[in-house]
Structure 1
Amino acid sequence: MNVQDPSRRRFLVQAIAVSVAAMAVNTAAGQAAKPAAALPKLPLDNPTAKALAYTENAASVKHPSFKPGSHCANCNLYKGVAGQAYGPCQLFPQNSVAAKGWCSGWAKKV
């Protein structure tokens, strides 16, 4: 008859869980978003930028869904620091966008 000690089993399960969690954290940290300074500016010829009518100057927008006063800095998807000219955007994770820019993905910051 093979009887296992429940405390040993619990220890092994917890040790495996901690190891898996540590690997997941290390993997996620390696894939974390780069700081805004390290991100290149979004090129205007980027296919996604074109599809979303991205522009670096919201004052010149003539898009039908444009709302006066809307720009990247007051968009919910923009994650840049206030006062910086460029910052990260959730729509363009590999690039930084102009704080004074605009795209049709604009969503009012809550």
Structure 2
Amino acid sequence: MTNSRRRFLKLTAGGVVGLSIGGTSLKAMAAEHVDPEDPQAKALQYVHKSTKDGQQCAGCALAQGSAGDAWRPCGIFPGKLVSSEGWCAAWAKKPG
């Protein structure tokens, strides 16, 4: 009886961890791209492709995620992804 209870607890704990990690990655995959016509994006003059020399979302301190990703999360647009080649008025050069 003790082995069955112990096994049940291990499987339950593993399932909870698996579901929480799986849910996090599903949220990241389901994130929408920022729409340049969105009121917040318009207010910040967001564009998917920067015309400003050396100023792209990939080089911004507010960009999150992994370097080299074409679309990345940004602190300015929660729950949405910005183009690594994009730009907005909140652009701030990464330190270093």
Identify whether the pair has TM-score above 0.5, normalized to the shorter chain: yes
CA deviation after TM superposition for structure 1 residue 38, in Å: 2.3
- Residue in 2 that maps onto 1:23: none
Matched residue SS, 1:58: coil
Deviations 1:32-87 (A, max 9, x none): 8x42x32100111111100000000003xxxxxx5x20100000000021111101
Of 64, 68, 71, which aligns to 1:86? 71
Mapping of residues 3-42 of structure 1, within 5 Å:
34-35=27-28, 37-42=29-34
Matched residue SS, 2:78: strand
Letter paired with 2:44: L
- Which residues of structure 1 form unaligned runs of 5+? 1-28, 60-65
Which protein shows a greater Rg?
Answer: 1
In the alignment of these two chains, the number of paired residues is 71
Letter paired with 1:38: A
Letter paired with 1:76: A
The percent of aligned pairs where both chains have the same amino acid is 41
- The reply on whether 1:100 has 2:85 as its aligned counterpart is yes
Matched residue SS, 1:43: coil
Report the RMSD for the aligned CA atoms in angstroms. Answer: 1.7
